[in-house]
Structure 1
């Protein structure tokens, strides 16, 4: 009996398709469908299959015209991110079936020039902005804890806390692999200094890391304990694990409605649904009455933004976040959080208002000096006589300095 197995071409093809994440596969399918619809609506006598066998020159000409005429079903322009996704999908499709890269190959320069011009047009018409996920503000982060929404005293709020902190410290992408998490995926360990931390035992496939030879298994983040801090994430996680239903392997279980603190089990033998987990941060936002409705992906954005604010280099941050390149997180570094925006506004206001106050002070001073016009009536000879009189008291007097104040001079003058 041989240890090897026979594999059909279809099975090999399925194996190759499995390399792509679900999102990537959807992008490719969407892009191919759009260009098929384009050929049909524009009555162009050509098919995608024809392009797979035609010359690169002809494919370039077709793409050049396709990019210029591409519109949504309501005849509006696609957004910048949608255009980039469509071209990326076509790139992956023709790279696989034709062996040609329609983005980086110089034979497609004219088509890509038209594509870039389309991006400029989209931006000119106000559709070029890419909407990134909001970073959870410092005030809202504090509010989550202070309102009790992340309390450890009840099943639902304890789950909220563990959910938020796991996604935060492990920089997890919004919905990715959350439903598939199991209790045994995580472990509480002790490092060489005797400090406890939570680590992830299993490295699951993600959008950017598909388990190929370029991936490293030594990139798992750690969530360390905070001794003496009532919000310690390790203590919360440890309590959460202890209260889970022992007969259920899933990490996210439905919280029991009726419970007692001393109960050994706080959760039902039923896993939380995928959609419920996908909307967890929205649920937390509503319960804590936060300033806006955040999504799960906002937790990831918050992790990257906080690390950037703390001065960590991009090469270290992507080691935790799982991004493939430093350029992928540039927008997090360039975004200003609410606190910075507020401080910058205050700085500008203080400078402008400071100038205004000085101007007002000068205007008041001018007005006060205008009240001394009576000095113009004093006889010059009289002033000379006053100045020539000897100083009777030469004892040094204390010097007083006044700023930003009005000075009133009472002078009794009798010309006779």
Structure 2
């Protein structure tokens, strides 16, 4: 039984009263201050590079860098889209416009495929650049060895670890704000907006 079913005559009056009260509370400002993830600004991004949080000095640093740019450049969602990421979803190639890296999406929180989404296209994004491996995209970093500072194991990074990547990046870089994995998607959207790309 749904007490909020406005089409059920038994609960129509209750629905009306609750609806009115919620609108009244919103007018008073209650519920308008929602805590949302901040995007990483260009200034903070530079700070992360300068402080060594991003880079190629070891496996973990490279992994956090790749995670951030997968969010920023391809708009990947926080946990699930990264956890299911496979190396074969990326293609490096060249065409008449130059060299590129291409991301081919699969199912996500907002795209499940099926009959109901036949008119929606899956993510297929190319980024052109200036002058493999198979299986899970994020592997567990291994300690550096002499002559080999970047090493990864065969096991994939766990979903709980992936959930904390953006928080780890912001804490290591001493960034001020509220950062979660959704910050990556917001960074992507903010960058596109600042570059004048329509949504």
Q: Normalising by structure 1, what TM-score?
A: 0.43
Question: What SS does the corresponding residue of 1:150 show, helix, strand or coil?
Answer: coil
For 1:324-343, list aligned pairs within 5 A: none
Q: Supply the RMSD in Å over aligned alpha carbons.
A: 2.8
Whether the aligned pair in 2 keeps the contact of 1:169 and 1:222 (CA below 8 Å) is no
Aligned pairs for 1:4-403 (under 5 A) are: 48=1, 56=7, 59-65=8-14, 67=15, 111=16, 115=19, 117-124=21-28, 126-193=30-97, 195-201=98-104, 203-211=105-113, 212-217=117-122, 219-227=123-131, 249-262=135-148, 266-314=151-199
Aligned-partner Cα distance in 1 for 2:2–2:55: 58
1:63 CA drift (Å):
4.6
More strand by share: 2
Give the structure, 1 or 2, with the largest relative contact order (CA under 8 Å, sep 6 or more).
2
Pick closer, same or farther for the CA change 1:50–1:272 going to 2, 3 Å. Answer: closer
- Give the gaps of 5 or more residues in structure 2: none
- Structure 1 segments unaligned to the other structure (5+ residues): 1-47, 68-110, 228-240, 315-416
More helix by share: 1
- Report how many residues are paired: 196
